[in-house]
Amino acid sequence: MSRTLPVQKNDFIDVVFEDLTHEGEGVAKVEGYPLFVPNGLPGEKAKIKVVKVNKSYGFGRLIETYEESPFRVDASCPIYKECGGCQLQHLSYEGQLLAKEKQVRDVLTRMGRLENVKVHPVLGMMDPWRYRNKAQVPIGEQEGGLIGGFYQHRTHQIIDMKECLIQQEKNDEAVQKVKEICGRYGVRAYDEGRHKGDLRHVMARYGLVTGEVMIVMVTRSNELPHKQKIVEEIVASIQGVKSVVHNVNSKKTNVIMGDVTRVLWGEEVIYDYIGDIQFAISARSFYQVNPEQTRVLYEKALEYADLSGDEKVIDAYCGIGTISLFLAQKAKEVFGVEIVPEAIEDAKRNAALNGIMNAEFAVGKAEEVIPEWYKKGNNADVLIVDPPRKGCDEALLQTILSMKPAKVVYVSCNPGTLARDLRILEDGGYKTVEVQPVDMFPQTMHCEAVAKIELRESN
């Protein structure tokens, strides 16, 4: 017999918010049944309307707040409530850092059964605005003109914007200018429903230290209409532009970039620095979007690695070599592995760019390459993992347990998979010493963390 739900769609009810979801929605419970409500904050008493019910949880809309959180603030962005780009502008920055610390601690305790691990306060930014060095803006049409902005929450409806308060201002200016120029030349926006039109996305990348700008136009068709004139105007009107790129994505997909990339003007790359290390960034390079906090994150990883200069280090999921090159300054040797061939080419180029000779890079899956290295006797004193959101592959975790490096440093972008993987390492003979969350994405619920892990003495 099915359980009768304590609420029904279109009910108006009074609730108290207990927590935040990983998407920044307030969590209220009615007889244990969770309701997720955008814009609700923990501790607030409010009236909500139930807008959707599932078997195990439902969704609501905030109607009225009776008692506000002391951390509630007015959002700075005029389109914040429509746009899905941020989730926490209604929460003060102090409140955001406390919420992220709680998120990391709760997940480690609940999912990882790591009750006694020290979780430090989140390392935040002095100024938590205008930090993103890459804008990827979907393009649409409205009343015959081009619009560009982020999608409305849980939809593919584009909310047109003039500026984004978490983007570098140079990126905002560049996107607006490209949108205006393309519109003037009659370029049609891509219609994903009919799979017609041309311009899908405009991407702008900005070197925070160098001031260099790259513009990427992503089209459905192989040709960009009025290409030469559009490029000439972009170069003439955007200060600092060093590269104008055309990417072709003809597939029916939510993936932004296609397989064909052509440089229309200027260089294939722009340059930027994290600390003292210079990086070449191509249109398809993975490069951290908040370089100021990336430096904080990597310096913490370097501190946890505690290198003396004699160690052999393996960097799994090395990307374009960002952490590897930081480590190479203090280690004897660093070996990086990454599944994306273009990223490994970037890593090798970045090593050469900085005159770093003690870092080697290989293409492949970390869970396949590192076990092969281990079979051939290529062991590691310190192992760094910086996996995607899904966490480490189980085969890699088992290889770590076989290799028994004295130290593992885990750089995580997902507290849930971090907790799961730490539990596996703990059960295999490691101890999680401490975890340092770092706020790479202010105004959102995303939180990165670095974990210091050491082999127990009995192993």
372 and 327 assigned to the same domain: yes
87 domain-assigned: no
pLDDT of amino acid 85? 86
Contact (Cβ atoms closer than 8 angstroms) between residue 443 and residue 297? no
Strands 199-206 and 213-219, sheet pairing:
antiparallel
215 and 330 assigned to the same domain: no
Q: In what order do the strands lie in the sheet with 134-142?
A: 145-148, 134-142, 199-206, 213-219, 241-248, 260-266
- AA letter at 125: M
- AA letter at 223: E
Number of domains in the chain: 3
Nearest to 409 by CA among 283, 286, 324, 348: 324
Contact (Cβ atoms closer than 8 angstroms) between residue 247 and residue 190? no
252 and 188 assigned to the same domain: yes
122 and 184 assigned to the same domain: no
356 and 251 assigned to the same domain: no
285 domain-assigned: no
pLDDT of amino acid 84? 80
pLDDT of amino acid 378? 83
Task: Identify whether 413 is a catalytic site residue.
Answer: yes
Of 274, 304, 333, the residue at which a domain comes to its end is 274
CATH of the domain at 295: 3.40.50.150
Strand partners, 383: 314, 408
47 and 152 assigned to the same domain: no
pLDDT of amino acid 122? 98
224 and 301 assigned to the same domain: no
238 and 115 assigned to the same domain: no
348 and 262 assigned to the same domain: no
Of 229, 246, 274, the residue at which a domain comes to its end is 274
CATH of the domain at 185: 2.40.50.1070
Of 233, 250, 274, the residue at which a domain comes to its end is 274
Query: Quick one: how far is CA 414 from the chain centroid?
Result: 10
Range of the domain at 157: 134-274
Q: Would you give per-residue pLDDT tens digits along the chain (459 residues)?
A: 346 899 999 999 999 999 999 889 999 999 999 999 999 999 999 999 999 999 999 999 999 999 999 999 999 999 998 888 899 999 999 999 999 999 999 999 999 999 999 999 999 999 999 999 999 999 999 887 899 998 887 788 899 999 999 999 999 999 999 999 999 999 999 998 889 999 999 999 999 999 999 999 999 999 999 999 999 999 999 999 999 999 999 999 989 999 999 999 999 999 999 999 999 999 988 889 999 999 999 999 999 999 999 999 999 999 999 999 999 999 999 999 999 898 999 999 999 999 999 999 999 999 899 988 888 888 899 999 999 999 999 999 999 999 999 999 999 999 999 999 999 999 999 999 999 999 999 999 999 999 999 999 866
Q: How far apart are CA 229 and CA 389, in angstroms?
A: 41
238 domain-assigned: yes
283 domain-assigned: no
1 domain-assigned: no
72 domain-assigned: no
The whole-model pTM stands at 0.93
pLDDT of amino acid 79? 93
Nearest to 422 by CA among 402, 446, 400: 400
59 and 42 assigned to the same domain: yes
Among the listed residues 164, 392, 413, 447, the single catalytic one is 413
Identify each DSSP E strand in 306-372 by its residue range.
312-316, 333-338, 359-363
395 and 437 assigned to the same domain: yes
76 domain-assigned: no
315 and 407 assigned to the same domain: yes
Contact (Cβ atoms closer than 8 angstroms) between residue 17 and residue 36? no
Backbone angles phi, psi at 32, to 5 degrees: 85, -5
437 domain-assigned: yes
Collapsing DSSP to helix, strand or coil, 310 comes out as coil
Q: What is the dihedral of CA 254, 256, 261, 264, to 10 degrees?
A: 130
Q: How many CA atoms lie within 13 A of 60 on its CB side?
A: 31
